[in-house]
Structure 1
Amino acid sequence: MRVRFLCSRVLVTILPTAAVLLLWATPARAHADVEGTTPASGAVVQNAPDAVVLTFSEAVRAVPDKIRVTGPDGQRADLGRPAATDRQLRIPLRSGGGKGTYLVSYRVVSADDHPITGGFTYSLIEPSATPPTASDADAPPTPPSIAFGVAVARYVGYGGLVLLAGPMLVLCTLWPRRLPVGGRTGPATLARAGVWASALAAVAELALQFPYTLGADRSMLSAESLRAVIGSPFGVAHLVRLGVVVGAALVLRRIIAGRVGRPGIAVVVTLAVLGITGLATWPVAGHPIAGPIPALTVVADVAHLGAMAVWLGGLTVVLVSLSRRASPRELAVILPVWSDWAMLAVTVLVLAGVAQALVQVGTLDGLTGTAYGRLVLAKAGLLAVVLGVAQCSRMLVAGFTDRPDADPADAQDRTDTPRIARLQRTVLAEVAITAVVLAATAALVQTTPARTAQAGPPSRDAFNVTVTTNLFQLGIDIAPARTGVNTVHLYATDAGGRPIPVAEWSGTAALPDRGIEPIAVPLLALTSDHASGQLTFPVAGDWQLRFTVRIDETNRATATTTIQVR
């Protein structure tokens, strides 16, 4: 009963905060930027190009049938299959294209396995009077529910790793010989939960990767698209992880069944190889592999996850099993050893985390001025609290060494019950707060690294404003707010800042002081709540902008603002 009470308190503490952190990180934003295009965005060329080339800040993979070029006549102008080579995406074009405006829309997957959608226009000879528009199939949005599901699956996977690492470590090194391994609250139960959680999370992440990268477009489900996901680094990493989980389950089953006895060197080495291999599947399918120093960030992430799993997993076994079933004399022997190991794990955890932060954040502005940096700060703050609680646990553990008189076989000797109860409370606090740190880690996976967020698009000058209407709030970003070609981004949200699905976007720009009548702004829906387009300001002045957003068949509103163009 007490164990169920402790577990319920852990869940009550963890779940609300974990949900907040996971929601903070969804939907995921693109983790790579377009550094340049040929032809240039908004350019007017005199000779028809044979291909459109996009250069990204990271290596990308093309999403099948989600990359196209629409000509002035509304027909597809691309030919054959686009080719993604390292950081470049090349889209071959048909010959003999007519004059007018061409719309390029794309969906690719970045090196850290996040989808990137976008679009731009260029014109041959002269711009079209009515530029082509994109259909929903060109750049389908990733539903927030899918992005949230990815974060939840990642969190469950971390939990499975913890529940596997803790029992494996304790069973191989610290579990008292007189105690049975199994039992309703024993390490066997935790290990089985870890196996199932790890396996189900890996399968869920694989299943969600298809709608995550293709925008939940079921019509695109095909053998080719499935092969693209399974054959990607993400898919291979998760298949390897499933194999590791199966291997660990077989080894643990033999230990739990007593067919191995105290594990020998061969079993320990096998578990170590499986553990390192399984840990490596996380960084090779995430931010670390796409970092500027992948060798450092991958190794640091493996060390970070391993130390976290050992620490939190061992604490969980201590909380729900050892502190209740071992005698005070056994605890006097086991807990000091575990305390030293925990301190080593914490040291590795901190050093590896600092190394990753230095690479992924880089600057003080990145730490304080980006969502990724603020999550790192929140994670560091929580870790500092955990370390304070852990120090209290170490002080309580030291007290057990003062009990030389207890019978090591007497599990009923509870003269140290008050101290054990205090230890259970401090360990419970460590487990609860560290589990919230895991939620922050899962949220970081869904958040653009600070180095990428700060790099942003090549142009840094911009006009930013949020206009409120009776139906929505419209965020308007225009860069570089100078004469010539400008990039427009529109974001539709409700009063609370939550994205609103938009059925249709339209806009105009006018300069009445110079006699310039409204000019149509071609807009491309990148996601359900985000549109982008190109706008050319021929002269400087105070331009009047009007953007009409249709939410459904009966609800639409217009947001107006004025931009000073230099």
Structure 2
Amino acid sequence: MLFLFVLLASLTLPASPASAHAAPVGATPAPGSVIGASPAEVTVTFSEPVTPVEGRVQVIAPNGDRISGKAVVEGTTMRIPVRQADKPLGTYLISFRVISADSHPVGGAISFSVGAPSERPEAPSETIGTHPSVEVAVPVFKTIGYAGITLIAGPAMFLAFLWPRRRSRSGALKTVRVGLALTAFATLGAIASYPQQGSGAPLWQVSAQELTETVTSEFGLLLVGRLAILGVLAGLLLPMLSRAPRTARARVLVGAGAPVEVVPADQKTKTTFSRTRPYAVLALSAAGLATWPLTGHAVAAPMSGITVTAGVVHMAAMAVWIGGLVTLAVFLLRGTHPRVLGVVLPVWSRWAAIAVLWLVFAGAIQAVVQMGKVSALWETGYGQLLIAKLGVTAAVLGAAAFARRMVVAGAAGAGVRRAVGIEVAASVVILALSSVLVQVDPGRIAATKEKPITGQGFSETLTSDLYAVQFNIYPVELGEYNTIHAFLYTPDGGPLRAEEWQVTARLTDPALEAVAQPIAGLPTGNQALGSMSFPLPGTYEITFTIRTTEIDRASVKTSVTVGG
């Protein structure tokens, strides 16, 4: 059990906290924009489907009132109905906390303004962030789960096919039971900590209602299914492994050069389990392994069918390889007759090579999909952790190659034990890195987050003694295809009808004459729409001259820079 203590101890090393794996990529109204009237609905678009956390998605008016209804998600877009605020002018806040498709929490806030910007409302403290106790607990439970499946797969494989007949099975059987218990414990921990990922509460604050909602959610149903599979596996697998199967393979393995292990060649093959039981165990094992990628990165990635399948293969290969190493190191390398090891180790070496081949192949598929681009390997935390994991894996493969050469050469002594010990120690690090890796934003999402959503174009509010005018120019590019949309208000924020709109644009360096831009009032009265032309790169002085009555007229100015 030293393996488990070392594995858990590795989690005390500094690691990146749990991160969300969906990212907001757009919103309506646009983040930072200034619009003319309070909207009846706001939307936030994410990079992947999300589920709103009850009570944690809201729109806050400039005076601090919460004016939003229940959020509804359509695909990757979350729609939030909004009622008219008592004091509609000023800055609004869209505060949200949702759960991404890969079961990780996403929190954030986006602001926009109506009429003119004001002081931004404060976001609720419970909307953003995950409690430190949950940030620690989630990767711990994942690591315990990974350790559990390795302690099931490795000993079970040896007990079924490679176990020497005269070695006691009790230790390996106990290890399988421990693996089943650890996996069940990790699954229960994942269920118990899921509500807090959404609510932002500490690990110990969870209600019966929250747990009920979790169990009945898609995430919870998958984990409940995993628990059911573990229960059935325990009933099928443990009796099957408790006695040695007298199969043709068993005769070959135990009869090669070790007199104490010889079984008569003419003895009929007998089995202690039914013909269908092994197939049922394999099918249940595959279904149980599938619950990991179905609640993680793979299900939310492009080509999810491929990534989920690759995830199952990756975990199965990892469990066979690392679990087999642990079984060798703890139970077989010491106290087993050298001639028996001379038969067992070459077979195990071939199996390990196949497992590693599938491990690398499935891992490569996942990396290509999750990274998004090659530069994400060194530009993102996910990529850097992946490089570290690959480096440790390469070291393990080096030790495995050394051990294989010794096995082929017929040496099964201290050198092989040292090589296997190195493999086990390095594999502990691989599992720890894996548990952190699944909590960090994949490269494809990190790249999205590097481009925060912002209001497009140029928006500003200009004031005079007669009025306040808010406008947006989009997209502010060279040429004549730029649109200007303006809203007119009284100095105290009420809508104001304009009798006449005029807008000019003048390049300041080199200084050119001001050019009138076409703009016309809309039937709504306080709005106008037109176009802007920027023939040359540089800074333009934009002047609004607006007549509000037969005799009242005022001009306001600002400047905007247009790139080359």
Q: Distance in 1 between matches of 2:67 and 2:405?
A: 72
Deviations 1:88-130 (A, max 9, x none): 11111124653222221110011111111111222233334x4
Counterparts in 2 of 1:352 and 1:131: CA distance versus 1, 3 Å: closer
| 1:327 is the counterpart of 2:337 | yes
CA distance in 1, matches of 2:383, 2:117: 42
Structure 2: which amino acid aligns with 1:230? V
Q: For residue 100 of structure 2, what is the amino acid of its counterpart?
A: S
| Partner of residue 284, structure 2 | 274
Q: Is the 1:393–1:427 Cα contact (8 Å) retained in structure 2?
A: yes
| 1:37 paired residue number | 27
Shift of 1:363: 2.3
Asked if 1:215 corresponds to 2:225, the answer is no
Aligned to 2:553: none
SS across alignment from 2:413 = helix
Q: Could you tell me how far 1:30 is from its partner in structure 2?
A: 2.3
- Aligned counterpart in structure 1 of residue 432 of structure 2, from 410, 432, 439: 439
Question: Which among 111, 120, 123 is matched to residue 134 of structure 1?
Answer: 123
The answer to whether structure 1 residue 430 and structure 2 residue 430 are counterparts is no
List alignment gaps of at least 5 residues for structure 1.
Answer: 1-6, 401-415, 461-478, 486-539, 541-563
Q: Is the contact made by 1:366 and 1:450 (CA closer than 8 Å) also made in structure 2?
A: yes
Give the match for residue 166 of structure 2: 178
Offset, 1:457: 5.3
Alignment pair present for 1:292 and 2:292: no
- After TM superposition, the score normalised by the length of structure 1 is 0.72
Equivalent residue for 2:408? 398
Instruction: Provide the secondary structure at the position in 2 that maps to 1:380.
Output: helix
Counterpart in 2 of 1:25?
A: 16
Counterpart-to-counterpart distance in 1, 2:9 and 2:136? 15
Letter in 1 for 2:366: Q
> Match of 2:78, as an amino acid?
L
What is the aligned partner in structure 2 of residue 349 from structure 1?
359
Secondary structure in structure 2 of the residue aligned to 1:265: coil
CA drift at 1:339: 0.9
Q: Using the alignment, how far apart are the partners of 2:58 and 2:150 within structure 1?
A: 44
Seen in structure 2, the aligned counterparts of structure 1 residues 364 and 276 have a Cα distance that, compared at 3 Å, is same
Q: Which amino acid in the other structure matches residue 56 of structure 1?
A: F
Instruction: Evaluate the alpha carbon distance shift between residue 457 and residue 426 of structure 1 in structure 2; reply closer, same or farther with a 3 A threshold.
Output: closer
CA-CA distance at 1:258 after TM superposition: 4.1
Q: Which amino acid aligns with 2:134?
A: I
Q: Does 1:165 align with 2:153?
A: yes
Give 1:85 deviation, angstroms.
2.2
Q: Which amino acid aligns with 1:84?
A: V
Q: Which residue of 1 aligns with 2:347?
A: 337
Q: Look up the SS of the partner of 1:99 in the other structure.
A: coil
* Cα separation, 2, equivalents of 1:341 and 1:447: 32
CA contact (8 A) 1:483 1:565 kept: no
Q: 1:387 to 1:339 in 2, by over 3 A?
A: same
8 A contact 1:244–1:274 mirrored in 2: yes
Distance 1:220 1:17, change over 3 A: closer
Q: CA RMSD in A?
A: 2.9
Query: 2:210 corresponds to which letter in structure 1?
Result: S
Structure 1 pair 35/11, CA: closer, same or farther in 2 (3 Å)? closer
Within the alignment, does 1:188 sit opposite 2:184 as a pair? Answer: no
Counterpart secondary structure, 1:133:
coil
8 Å Cα contact 1:14/1:433 also seen in 2: no
**Structure 2 Cα separation of the partners of residues 127 and 66 of structure 1:** 24
Supply the AA of the counterpart residue of 1:178.
Answer: R
Q: CA deviation at 1:313?
A: 0.7
Structure 2 gap ranges (5+): 246-270, 461-538, 540-560
Q: Secondary structure at the match of 1:75?
A: coil
- The one of 449, 466, 473 equivalent to 2:442 is 449
The equivalent residue for 2:96 is 106
Deviations 1:53-106 (A, max 9, x none): 111111000000001111233221113x21122201111112465322222111
Displacement, 1:168? 1.5
Say if 2:48 is the partner of 1:58.
yes
Q: Deviations over 1:313-363 (max 9, x none)?
A: 111111111223432222222211111111000000011111111111132
CA-CA distance at 1:257 after TM superposition: 4.4
Q: Is the 8 A contact 1:33 1:57 kept in 2?
A: yes
**Which residue identity is paired with 2:277?**
V
Check whether the contact 1:35–1:457 (CA below 8 A) recurs between aligned residues.
no
Larger of the two Rg values belongs to structure: 2
Q: Which amino acid in the other structure matches residue 370 of structure 2?
A: Q
- Once the two structures are superposed, residues 184-243 of structure 1 have per-residue CA deviations (whole angstroms, 9 ceiling, x without a partner) of xx2112111101111111111111111122101699955653344223332122112111
Q: 1:387 maps to which residue?
A: 397
Q: Report the Cα offset of residue 19 of structure 1.
A: 3.2
SS at match of 2:93: strand
Q: Given that residues 99 and 123 in structure 1 are in contact (C-alpha distance below 8 angstroms), is that contact kept between their aligned partners in structure 2?
A: no
1:434-462 per-position Cα deviation (integer Å, ceiling 9, x unaligned):
121111111111100011111225459xx
Specify the alignment match of 2:543 in structure 1: none
Q: How far is 1:155 from its partner?
A: 0.5
Residue 164 of structure 1 aligns with an amino acid whose one-letter code is: I
Identity %: 37
CA gap 1:143/1:323 in 2 versus in 1, 3 angstroms: same
Distance (whole Å) between structure 2 residues aligned to residue 42 and residue 158 of structure 1: 44
Tell me if the contact between 2:156 and 2:241 (Cα under 8 Å) persists in the aligned partners.
Answer: no
Q: Does residue 142 of structure 2 align to residue 151 of structure 1?
A: no
In the superposition, relative to structure 1, how do residues 97 and 87 fare at CA in structure 2: closer, same or farther (>3 Å)?
A: farther
**Maintained 8 Å contact 2:132/2:202:** no
One-letter code of the match for 2:431? L
Shift of the alpha carbon at 1:162? Answer: 0.1
CA–CA separation in structure 1 for the residues paired with 2:433 and 2:9: 12
Secondary structure at the counterpart of residue 111 of structure 2: strand
Is this contact kept in 1: 2:160–2:241, CA < 8 A?
Answer: no
Distance 2:11 2:299 in 1: 25
CA distance in 2, matches of 1:258, 1:141: 52
Match in the other structure for 2:82:
93
- Cα distance in structure 2, aligned partners of 1:374 and 1:455: 17
**Amino acid paired to 2:65:** Q
Cα distance in 2 for partners of 1:74, 1:206 equals 35
Q: Is the 8 A contact 1:172 1:263 kept in 2?
A: no
Cα 1:421/1:259, change in 2 over 3 Å: closer
Q: CA deviation at 1:131?
A: 3.7
User: How many correspondences in the alignment?
Assistant: 440
Residue 525 of structure 2 aligns with which residue?
none
In structure 1, what is the Cα distance between the partners aligned to 2:50 and 2:358? 32
Cα 1:422–1:262 shift into 2, 3 Å: farther
